[in-house]
Amino acid sequence: MKSNIIVKFGKEDIRLVKMSFRGAQDDKYKLIVPGILPIDPRTGEIVHYSGGNIDGSAVRQTIQCLDNLETILRVPEYTLGSVFKVVVYLDSDLQEKVITEVISNLKKRLPNCNFTFAPGNIPRVVHGPKIFVQIDPVEVWNGIF
């Protein structure tokens, strides 16, 4: 069974898809969260460091993506600890030390998560600074199968 949860995030409405599964003992739910971009919800702008500092921008964008995900998950009463699986897109221009720091930030804040990392160029979906980190899609479970 599928249902939608609408979350107000900054100027946007974000549609989360909730899928329920009947188990032997409890109902289990999987929540699908669409792509998380490093956008500051107060300004609607992509976060970055001025002067084109790729390293600082990538780390700051990772933190913003995680902050955005945490905010979105509060509405249906989930936490970052409930996040089960994500695909993380990392720009191919990032240096290895930056990628290591980005991965460390992700693993600290998403302790129960299975990660898939996809290197490459992230398409520019909004006008503004280059995006170095994007999280999409996110799967959140209310229990372990």
pLDDT tens, position by position, 30-69:
788 888 888 888 888 888 876 666 677 888 999 999 999 9
**Residue 102 and residue 59 in contact, taking contact as beta carbons nearer than 8 Å:** yes
- pLDDT for the residue 34: 84
- pLDDT for the residue 145: 37
What fold characterizes domain 2-141? 60s Ribosomal Protein L30; Chain: A; (3.30.1330)
Tell me the backbone φ, ψ of residue 56, rounded to 5 degrees.
-65, -35
CB atoms within 10 A of CB 120: 9
Residue keyed to tokens 């998950």: 73
**Torsion sign, CA atoms 94, 9, 67, 49:** positive
Return the higher-pLDDT residue of 82 and 125: 82
User: Per-domain residue ranges for the chain?
Assistant: 2-141
| pLDDT confidence tier of residue 110, bands split at 50, 70 and 90 | very high
Residues in contact with 22: Cβ distance below 8 Å, sequence separation at least 6, in sequence order: 28
